[in-house]
Structures are given as structure tokens and as C-alpha cells.
Structure 1
Amino acid sequence: MFSQSQTSSFPEFPDLSFLQTDIHAHFLPGVDDGVKDLETSLILISGMRQMGYQKLIVTPHIKLRSFPNRAGDLKTRFSAWQAALQLHGVSIKTLLAAEYYLDDHFLQLLENEELLCFDSFSGRGYVLIEFSFHQPPERAEESIRLVLDHAYIPVIAHPERYRYYHQQFHVYESFKAMGCLLQLNLNSLTGYYGTEEQAIALRLLHHGLIDYAGTDMHHVRHLQALKSLQQNPQLMKLLQDYPFQNMYI
């Protein structure tokens, strides 16, 4: 399935088998700023399997101005992609959800019950939501309450990457108090996104505010960056001992 050059390019992956499931990744080719072709998705999934993942939740962006994906179209493309994986002998379980940009378009989809969610053992629909990286979302609390009122659980993607909250740590606690769950990007811990993001990621873990760990995998560079996790035994122990909820999906 893979050439020797493809698989040998990524030796010594960290053992992340304790997570079991990745809830945030962009493996579906050609739909957003993630994977561009089937070959790349096969390489990335090979790396995920080497790290011990058993299930991958694929979460393409749905953002009206940048990635105006529709749920029906994504389902069709996802089914075709799954068939292609089977043809290449890939047996890992894959599920489709989405990463929604919090804006009026998302609220309309919410109202129309047109969301792609993942489920937990509780049976509730979990919705992955991202914010702007440049400014706080308008009416964030009001929007989150609407999500909860529709009986969904909002999962805030990579909260450590929103720098405007770094000096307002109480905001993370407020989101949790409202009923949100928080998803950490593992590469934030490697320093991939910057030292500020790395520091906040660690602080969120030490305060027990994180619920899920995700790769947010877009491309080979993300896969390569994850290798550096194993160079920090103390960090790996923190991750292994942390009560992530990934296994319950």
C-alpha cells in the first residue's frame, strides 16, 4: 500500500494509543485547506495508525466565505473516500463530522438541524466549533446557549490558539461552566503554533479544563511535528495520565 520511502519518512512516532480516537482532522481530500489528494491522506493515516489510533473523525471546515461545504456533498465525498481507503487496504474506522465556524451561517444550519456531529456514549450530538483567530466572536455566549438549547454539546476547537483569550483565562472556565467541552491541539504542546499557544495549552491541561485531544491534521508537516512529543518524557506522562474523553466516542 505504501512505498518504503513514504513510511520510513516518519520513524519513531509517539505512542498515542491511549487516546484511541482522533476527533479533529482534515483528511477528506480537496474540500478545505487540509489534505489535497488521496495519496496524502493515505500517508497521514498510515502515520495515525503507527501512533495507535483506532478511529478517526474527519472534520472538514464549514465556513461560508472560505469553505462553503454542504453536509450532503460532504457525505457523498466521504463515502467515495471511504471506498478508496478500502481499495487500498486501510481498515481503520472513519466517521464524518465537521468543524463549524461560529457565525450566522452556522446558527442557520443549527436552526435547520443540518449539522454534522459526532456522538458520545451519552447519545448526544457533539458539535465541533471554531472561532476567529483574530478577534473574539460576537455574542459567543448567546450562540453557545442556542447550541445547548438545541440539545447539542458544543466542543470548542483548539481554545489555546485564540490569543485574545490568553490574558483572560477565566473565559475558558466560563465556557466550561456553560456546558462546553474543550479540544486541545496536540501540536500546540510541541510549540508548532508558537510559545504562547504552548504555554496556554499546558496551563489548560494543568487546570483540568481540556476534554479532548485532537491532531487537527491538515498536512504532512503536522504529522512530522507530532514526532517531537516523544522527546519530552514528562509531557508524554502528562498526556498518558490525563483523563481525556476521546475513548468514549
Structure 2
Amino acid sequence: MTFFTNLFLKKKKSTSVRSLTQLDFLEVDMHNHLLPGIDDGSKSVQQSLGYIKELHNLGFKKFICTPHIMEGVHPNTKFSIEQAHRALSDGLKESGSEVEIFAAAEHMIDDGLHTLIQNNDLCLLPGGYVLIEMSYLSESKALFQTILNIQKLGYKPILAHPERYNYYHSNFDIYKQIKDAGCFLQLNLLSLSRYYGVDVKAIAMTLLKSGMYDFVGTDLHHDKHLHQLKDIVEKYPVREMLKTCTILNPTLLDHINASKGQHTIAG
């Protein structure tokens, strides 16, 4: 059996190998919903502090928080995101934690994003990256135009969790087209297990084998996600699984250091 075939087998890993599957090599969790009370993620500062402590214990050193901006559902703005970011930052200081967090957003491809692009008012990750997503129900016909429009502003688009768009599962070539268009791809760590289903895991494994992922994020929203992430760290050789891809999470540290003192979500 091949290495990747073995990844599908449900074998209980010994806790003695846990140190080999820690997430410290990623350095930065660049996709999560840790900012409190502004989307379907953490509900309070206290809950966020608990999540950050647990994720820090798994190896993450810094966090780029990416709440949804989704027209009619999570109509966040730079102001609402900055307010939540400040509240959580204050909570971290009061708790004595030295963990650093930064604010960006996960932009749904919708009419609201079109307006943000027109006004050059996007919430950027350090390094000029823009995290975008689509509906899980239907493909956005504006994907490639959105990629191009973001690039015209001088920014670099990242498509969140491409393995979760079921309508692409029967057309693997679309992932190559997205990459060829200059869009980066971000893996959800939860997709390494069967958390989202067997089909999502299968596509994630294929994208991994093809070396197509650029970034990795937890996409943590709630307790169930956290418990599953801890389970993945115990059972899966995450570092080995990602060696087929050039994962850029650690490079974000340079951009973070360069951006200190600047407005964290300004375009």
C-alpha cells in the first residue's frame, strides 16, 4: 500500500507519536473564527481565550482571525472586525497571554465583495493576501473574475477550503484552472479526517498528492471543531501529509513582523 492509501485506514495512533504530529511547524493559523460575537464562530471573549489557549498548545504561535463578510448573513465591516479584534486583544493582555492575534476576513463572493473590490476596501491578511470563499450549495460564476479583480488591485487571492465545494468533486481540472489563474488554495485541517465526509477527505488527499495546497487553516468555529482538531493531531501524521505541498504559513511571520504598527486590516 502507498503512504496516502494508508492515510485512509482507521488505525489508532499511539500517543507516543503525538510530538511528531504537533502543528508548530505551521507557525500561524491563518483561517479561523476566533473573533468573538461577530459571525458563527466564537460567542464571547472568554470562549475565544479558551480556543486560543488550546490551539497554542497544539503548536500555533500566532493567529490571523478571519470572520465572515457575507452580505445579508454576516455583514461585517472593517469597523466591526476591528472592534472585536480590540476586545479579544484586551482579553489576551488581561489574561497574561503573550499570544498575538491579527485581523482580516473571509470574504464571500457576492455582490458585497464586488463593492469592496470596487472601493479597494478589502480586509487583508498580512502580505496582501485576500481570503475568499464560495457557497457550498452552488458554484459562483464570478470566481475567476473575482480572482482577476483582486489581482488588479495588487493583492493575492486565496480560495478557502476548495475541497469542500462538492460541485467541483467530479471535475478535478477546475482546481488546476484556479491555480493557473494565480489563486492560492487553503486546506482545512479538519478535511484530513472524515469530519466533512468521505468525499471531502478524498479530494483533500488528491489535492495534497498533487502538491496544490499553499496554506493551511483550522477554520475553527466551535467546540466540536476543537475536539476534532485535537483528535487529528493525535491520529494523523500531519507534518508528513503536508510535505507534498509548499505550505506558506510560516512566511506570514515575515509579513506580520513587517506590518506591526500598521492598521491590521486596512487595504
- Residue number among 142, 145, 148 corresponding to 1:142 in the alignment: 145
Task: State the Cα distance separating 1:14 from its structure 2 match.
Answer: 4.5
How many corresponding residue pairs? 235
Q: How far apart in 2 are the matches of 1:58 and 1:159?
A: 19
Residue 205 (1) aligns with residue 208 (2) = yes
- Residue number among 56, 66, 73 corresponding to 2:73 in the alignment: 66
**Residues 179-238 of structure 1: CA deviation (Å, up to 9, x unaligned):** 000000000111111111011011101101100010001011111101222444555422
What TM-score do the two structures reach when normalised by structure 2?
A: 0.84
Which residue identity does 1:221 align to in structure 2? Answer: K
Is the CA contact 1:60–1:98 (under 8 Å) kept in the aligned structure 2?
yes
Task: Give the corresponding residue for 1:19.
Answer: 26
Task: Give the corresponding residue for 1:175.
Answer: 178
Matches within 5 A, 1:20-35: 20-35=27-42
Q: Which runs of 4+ in 1 moved over 6 A?
A: none
Is the CA contact 1:144–1:154 (under 8 Å) kept in the aligned structure 2?
yes
The DSSP-based 3-state class of the residue aligned with 2:102 is strand
The DSSP-based 3-state class of the residue aligned with 2:24 is coil
Task: State the Cα distance separating 1:12 from its structure 2 match.
Answer: 8.7
Residue 127 (1) aligns with residue 137 (2) = no
Matches within 5 A, 1:38-57: 38-57=45-64
What TM-score do the two structures reach when normalised by structure 1?
A: 0.90
Unaligned runs of 5+ in 2: 1-17, 253-267
Residue 83 (1) aligns with residue 93 (2) = no
Q: CA RMSD in A?
A: 1.7
Structure 1 239/219 Cα, relative in aligned 2: closer, same or farther at 3 Å? same
Q: How far apart in 2 are the matches of 1:205 and 1:69?
A: 32
Q: How far apart in 1 are the matches of 2:150 and 2:230?
A: 36
Is the CA contact 2:21–2:237 (under 8 Å) kept in the aligned structure 1?
no
Q: How far apart in 1 are the matches of 2:69 and 2:188?
A: 19
Residue 111 (1) aligns with residue 114 (2) = no
**Residues 113-171 of structure 1: CA deviation (Å, up to 9, x unaligned):** 11111123xxxx10000001001102221221111111111100000000000011111
Structure 1 225/115 Cα, relative in aligned 2: closer, same or farther at 3 Å? same
**Residues 58-112 of structure 1: CA deviation (Å, up to 9, x unaligned):** 0000001100111122112211220111101121111000000001110111111
Structure 1 167/186 Cα, relative in aligned 2: closer, same or farther at 3 Å? same
Q: How far apart in 1 are the matches of 2:20 and 2:77?
A: 35
- Residue number among 244, 249, 262 corresponding to 1:246 in the alignment: 249
Relative contact order higher in (CA < 8 Å, ≥ 6 apart): 2
Is the CA contact 1:12–1:227 (under 8 Å) kept in the aligned structure 2?
no
Matches within 5 A, 1:216-235: 216-235=219-238
Structure 1 35/44 Cα, relative in aligned 2: closer, same or farther at 3 Å? same
Unaligned runs of 5+ in 1: 1-10
Task: State the Cα distance separating 1:242 from its structure 2 match.
Answer: 4.1
Is the CA contact 2:20–2:239 (under 8 Å) kept in the aligned structure 1?
no
Q: Identity rate of aligned residues, in percent?
A: 37
Is the CA contact 2:29–2:63 (under 8 Å) kept in the aligned structure 1?
yes
